[in-house]
Structure 1
Amino acid sequence: MWPSRADKELLEAKLQIENSTISEDDPNLYPSVFRNISIFRRSYELMEKTLKVYIYKEGEKPIFHKPEAVMKGIYASEGWFMKQLKTSKVFVTKKPKQAHLFYIPYSSKMLKATLAPNSYNRESVVPYLKNYLDTISRTYNFWNRTGGADHFLVACHDWAADETRKFMGTCIRAICNTDVEKAGFELGKDVSLPETNVRYPQNPLQNLGGKPPSKRIVFTFFAGKMHGYLRPILLRNWENKDPDMKIFKKLPKVKDDQNYVDYMKSSKFCICAKGSEVNSPRVVEAIFYECVPVIISDNFVPPFFEVLDWESFAVFVPEKDIPDLKNILLSIPDKRYLEMYQRVKEVQQHFLWHVKPVKYDIFHMILHSIWYTRVSRVTPR
């Protein structure tokens, strides 16, 4: 790798972040939900001031460059991010030599839907991505210059970790499947992408929020399909076993999942149990509906973990402790629960999609995670 002007700018940013001083309070940020509010603020400011992203033009729709196909449902993060980055006048550059990061604009959901709609063979789609990577590495010298270290992708489908591991494993992978053991998620290089279930693409904030603590009459709630090994264990222990524990299989289908949403809005604790993979849209849904998330997924790396203090607003329960789940939650004092509830409300802004991005929202937080990861890994030459 030979240093460029962009590399030098990244190195300067790294030094400024490492030497961040305690900053004054920002009325739009809450220190209680951050690991270090000063470092986050400085890094975010430098991202806004410095970062330029080049988006590769190569690639055919609908797998590449078609965000509208992935704007609804549980994989919507990849579509919303693609659309909002493509239209950004702040971060996008048409001059690749100015770029600090290079975006590979593909949809893992559309790759599966287009090439392997009836298959469970994850390897079957890898050659398509390999051909794409060969194309951009032959056309440009940027991938080869860094070995892909300044390239990134944003992909939420469960297959994304496997389909990108072999040939794109050197780049920053913002993925929802963050299993550090089975999916090959690499701490310090990859980014945990929030899995967001967007029900109303025209107005993603519709139905935001929930009831105040005094009116949350359900102690604990879960409902979902029986994917994977863990949820059947949860059901065996708690389905119809205790009136305080509203633990169900998938609820009957109604318009806009309103019965499921009503439970989330009325519960103190919302169980986010892993399915076939470690990730679940329930983590962000709980925050959206202001229910304290209870994460049961041993190898899950939560979104924005590099800057957010997840234990300030979420409960982590080891998988082996499912039989003791109620006692664990009952052991949380009311004062602590109210604290966590308030912090869920405070951190909520970082997990919201807006039709047009706003400061500190989920679009900017995803981009910041990618920026922060790249800056952290840059070294002097």
Structure 2
Amino acid sequence: MDHGFLHYPCSKQTTRLIWVFGISLVVVLTLQYSELPIFNSISLLLSGAKASFVRESYFSNANNTSFMQQDLKDSYSGVNGSSPKNSSEEREKNTQNGDLKKPKMETLPVMSISQMNEELKKSRSSLYSVTSQVSSLVDQQLLEAKSQIENAAFTNNDSGLYAPIYRNISTFKRSYEIMNRMLKVYIYKDGEKPIFHDWILEGIYASEGWFLKLMEENKQFVTEDPNEAHLFYVPFSSRLLELTLYVPHSHSRENLIQFMKNHTEMLISKYPFWNRTNGSDHFLTGCHDWAPAETRGRLLNTIRALCNADIRTGFKIGKDVSLPTTYVRSSKNPLKDIGGNPPTQRPILAFFAGHMHGYVRPVLLNHWGNDTDMRIFARMPHVKGNKNYIDHMKSSKYCICARGFAVHSPRVVESLIYDCVPVIISDNYVPPFFEVLNWESFAVFVLEKDIVNLKKVLLSISEEKYVEMYERVKKVKEQFFWHSEPVKYDLFHMILHSVWYNRVLRMKGI
């Protein structure tokens, strides 16, 4: 009786506090998701809380599913918001130090697209150049190639290329021609499957798989003689590394990072090739979110072709290559159902659909989810073949490519292949093939902090300008296609060219 009497007031007080907390939470969520204009300003202030709420809810749901029980199809389904399955790396990132404690958007350091252009120019200066320890015939060839590229004569469009989509069509054409004639790549044979010499050809990590497969099957560029190689390829899969070595529920990538460190040290000690240039003539590809972390240490000296091309995680403009994130639904027919409606049959101003991953998408939905000119959804009902999502892309003038947990998104390439002008909302994301493509000629860049002005930005673009960008999208999309047998200027050749291009232009004579 005495104990019951002593605890009774505490029990009442606890109950009262729970009621107060519950009512407050309901009020906050009601205001946040209200469609009434009067709540817009309040909703803006609460947008950070909304993103946190979405992340915490997502984390809670993810804990109910074993981290590695999903098969490969589960891990990349729903990328376009049509299927509610969660990928393993998304669940992992949600539990790590980053996303649950993500700083507000306006506090993050941002490099604008114009600043990226300046950084690219600086990367070509002598300060960033690489000198080999010992001069060789290969070095002489690369220096000669550099001279020819930098002094390329003006070319017209009889090459089949469309000048406005390139930074400099003459240098690109000349560089591509020299690469086709001269480039030799040595592929390290070390490493066991599935982490090395193996691939996944479907899903959102398909880029690294397709490139690896096509590179190992290639007869034109691959050489068995390392002494004639201009580049050395480390053929690993960041996705298969995660599937093979990640310890479920450990919330740690340290063993994956250590594995790649050990493999690199083995290659350095076993072969003499690395020490010639301290690894600057080596390259790798990685499309998983964790690839930047797995390729740190001495691998930072290599040319890293990464889907997660985030300046904040160490991506170096002019050295590293932004690998396109390509969501391949069918490895047998990667080009199925491409193309879209003409400008006159695109009644939707802008479109986005997807899971509310990260801190940007909830803000996008909060501001524009009820706008009648745009179609901004959290998730679309699942339809076989993702037809609803694809039809919206084909019928929209602009397709929003908003970052999730990481800066990259398959929507960038999807926008292009469905003839929709991409609107990239992802601070510090370096778009694919940045060193050769003039992205500002066919895409729109909106800073995360300017989401509130999104509609104003899009409406400020004249119809004439939009049609011009639309036509350029139709031209550039062909360089984002996978083919079982690579063809000129396709995705395989563009990735290899950007690696080659960055290697050559960073050369410096002894």
Fold match, TM over 0.5?
yes
Q: Check if 1:313 corresponds to 2:445.
A: no
SS in 2 for 1:26: helix
Distance 1:117 1:334 in 2: 52
The equivalent residue for 1:275 is 404
The CA distance in 2 between the partners of 1:157 and 1:17, in whole Å, is 33
Partner of 2:460: 331
Residue 299 (structure 2) aligns with: 168
Tell me which residue corresponds to 2:482.
353
Range that drifts further, 305-314 or 24-33? 24-33
Equivalent residue number for residue 161 of structure 2: 29
Listed one character per residue, the Cα deviations across residues 298-334 of structure 1 (whole Å, up to 9, x for unaligned) are 1010011111110110000111111111111011110
RMSD, aligned CA: 1.1
Structure 1 position 213, deviation (Å): 1.1
Question: Quick one: which amino acid aligns to residue 348 of structure 1?
Answer: K
> Structure 2: how far apart are the matches of 1:20 and 1:233?
46
- Picking from 180, 189, 195, the partner of 2:311 is 180
Mapped pair 1:66 → 2:195 = no
User: Alignment partner of 1:306: what SS?
Assistant: coil
> What's 1:143 paired with?
274
Letter in 2 for 1:334: E
> Which amino acid counterpart does residue 37 of structure 1 have in structure 2?
I
**Which piece of structure 1 moves more, 130-139 or 83-92?**
130-139
Letter in 2 for 1:222: F
Superposed displacement of residue 56, structure 1: 0.4
Write the letter of the residue equivalent to 1:124: N
* 1:254 CA drift (Å): 2.3
Task: Quote how far apart the aligned CAs of 1:355 are.
Answer: 1.4
Is it true that 1:42 corresponds to 2:174 in the alignment? yes
Q: Give 1:124 deviation, angstroms.
A: 2.7
Counterparts of 1:125 and 1:314 in 2: how far apart (Å)? 36
Structure-1 separation of matches of 2:366 and 2:328: 30
Match of 1:266 in 2: 395
Q: Distance in 2 between matches of 1:318 and 1:84?
A: 36
Runs of 4+ with >6 A deviation = none
Could you say which residue in structure 2 is the equivalent of 1:284? 413
- 1:214 and 2:214 are equivalent in the alignment: no
Which residue of structure 2 lines up, in the alignment, with residue 6 of structure 1? Answer: 138
What SS does structure 1 have at the residue aligned with 2:224?
Answer: coil
TM-aligned CA deviation for residue 252 of structure 1: 2.1
Query: Greater helix percent: which structure?
Result: 2
Q: Which runs of 5+ in 1 are unaligned?
A: none
After superposition, the C-alpha distances for 1:244-300 in whole angstroms (9 at most, x for unaligned) are 110011222222222111111111100000111111110001001110000001101
Residue 500 of structure 2 corresponds to residue 371 of structure 1:
yes
User: Which residue in 1 is equivalent to 2:376?
Assistant: 247
Q: Which residue of 2 aligns with 1:130?
A: 261
Partner amino acid for 1:171?
T
Match of 2:432 in 1: 303
SS of equivalent to 1:82:
helix
Distance, in Å, in 2 between the alignment partners of 1:282 and 1:319 is: 16
**Structure 1, residues 13-37: CA drift from partner, whole Å, max 9, x if none?**
0011111110232342100111110
1:214 is paired with a residue of what secondary structure? helix
The one-letter code sitting in structure 2 at the alignment partner of 1:96 is P
The percent identity for this pair of structures is 58
Deviation at 1:86, TM superposition (A): 1.0
Q: Which amino acid aligns with 1:112?
A: E
Q: 1:88 aligns with which of 218, 233, 250?
A: 218
Amino acid at match of 2:294: E
| Aligned match of 2:97 | none
Q: Aligned partner of 2:271: which letter?
A: Y
Deviates more, 1:100-109 or 1:134-143: 134-143
Q: 1:156 to 1:289 in 2, by over 3 A?
A: same
Classify 1:336/1:255 alpha carbon distance in 2 versus 1 (closer, same or farther; 3 Å). Answer: same
- Deviation, 1:4, is 1.8
Alignment of 1:186-205 (within 5 A): 186-205=316-335
Give the AA of the match of 1:77.
S
Within-5 A mapping of 1:91-102: 91-102=221-232
- 1:228 and 2:358 are equivalent in the alignment: yes
Q: What letter corresponds to residue 385 of structure 2 in structure 1?
A: D
Residue matched to 1:57: 189
The 1:138–1:354 alpha-carbon spacing in structure 2 relative to 1, beyond 3 Å, is same
Q: Which amino acid aligns with 1:160?
A: A
**Aligned partners of 1:92, 1:250: CA distance in 2, in Å?**
44
Partner of 2:99: none
Shift of the alpha carbon at 1:7? Answer: 1.2
CA distance in 2, matches of 1:111, 1:36: 38
CA drift of 1:117 comes to 5.6
Structure-2-length-normalised TM-score = 0.73
- Identify if the C-alpha distance between structure 1 residues 4 and 27 changes in structure 2 by more than 3 Å, giving closer, same or farther: closer
CA distance in 1, matches of 2:159, 2:505: 27
- What letter is aligned with 2:155? S
Aligned to 1:156: 287
2:475 counterpart of 1:343: no
**Quick one: distance in 2 between partners of 1:75 and 1:47?**
26
Aligned to 1:15: 147
CA distance in 1, matches of 2:240, 2:247: 9
